[in-house]
Amino acid sequence: METLTTPTDSVFSRLPDPSSGVFTAPLQRPGHVGEDWVEPRQHVYGADENAVWDDLFARQMEVLPGRAASTFLAGLGKLDLGRGGVPEFARLSADLGALTGWSVVPVPMLIPDHVFFWHLANRRFPAGNFIRGRASFDYIEEPDVFHDVFGHVPMLADPIFADYMQAYGRAGWKAMRHNRLKALGALYWYTVEFGLVEEGGALRAYGAGILSGPGEAVFALEAASPNRIRLNVDRVMRTDYVIDDLQPTYFVIESFADLYHQTVERDFDRLYRGLGPGFTYANTAVIDIDDVLHRGTLEYHLRGGRRSGAKPV
Ligand code: PHE
Ligand code: FE
């Protein structure tokens, strides 16, 4: 039955047209970009902007050895992202292309879901065409080139993760047919952005949201507050998430092959049909089916989180 509706490669090469019932964020496309949202050329970064990259890079390298997944650190090295200044996408794409066939394209801002899916499905990673200023050095609301390139691109140098990301993009077509973009978004959030992986008995971070900011790697791996729970796709896709504070719960994979197995090698049709209209679980919840590695005290969040200036303990 499903084979009749499973899209083929020619489908993924064309920009999808979300049907009118599908909820997508109302983003206003700037006049200078076309339907693909790709910038005509990469921004030319000035000396001050390149210095922001260098300082962010240096600060992360104080924190990440021993905390970032070895796959991430290997990608960072292979792509030589610390050679100085914001990477030039043409060169980065050539290097990355030789490793896994991915490229990196500049986009002005957050792009609509269906455009994002389409780029990923064609092994193009859309990355911000600007860098944060000094005033928002520690924390920005909109993903900039440091988050997108430093945080995401090293993982794309890994063949399994590269395939996972392409499959995630392709998965968007089915999620749109089922009007389940929020559920698929939760999976992205708890893996690509905030995922942890087991490595030789220890936990390491592979999520870009953890790796591109200063405080979250320590919090995610070492603090008593957050729950650390083994990834269960059905559970995660029913779990709410916040985008403006540290996470109360992190989900842990055994390996990238395990992530691939749980997602790419599974048909989500039945899962989508069984989902309720909203999220079932709060992002702080521990439920009876959870395989809990660390039950969090949730102290940071109980004290009010970022807004109240709580310490990330
Ligand atoms: N197997 C999923 C489906 O049938 C697709 C998927 C791949 C989802 C990778 C997430 C990540 O829709
Ligand atoms: Fe991101």
- Ligand 2 centroid to Cα of residue 72, in Å, is 14
Look at domain 37-308 and name its CATH class.
mainly alpha
Confidence of residue 140 (pLDDT cuts 50, 70, 90): confident
pLDDT at 151: 98
Global confidence as pTM: 0.95
Rg, the chain, Cα only: 19
Instruction: Give 148's DSSP letter.
Output: I
Check pocket membership of 91 for ligand 1, CB cut-off 6 A: no
**Atom 10 (ligand 1) nearest CA:** 168
Quickly count: other Cβ atoms within 10 Å of residue 14's Cβ.
10
Tell me the best of 180, 266, 269 to mutate to test the pocket of ligand 1, counting ligand atoms within 8 Å of each CB and taking the most: 266
The amino acid occupying position 47 is A
Unique residue bearing structure tokens 């989902």: 275
Partners of 239 in the beta sheet?
A: 281
- AA identity, residue 188: Y
Chain CA centroid to CA 50, Å: 24
In 3-state terms, the chain is what percent helix, strand and coil (to 5)?
A: 45, 10, 45
Nearest ligand to the C-alpha atom of residue 273 = 1
Instruction: For 40-69, write each residue's pLDDT tens digit.
Output: 999 999 999 999 999 999 999 999 999 999
Taking only the tens place, the pLDDT of each residue in 174-225 is 999 999 999 999 999 999 999 999 999 999 999 999 999 888 999 999 999 9
Q: Which amino acid is at 142?
A: E
The DSSP code for 68 is: B
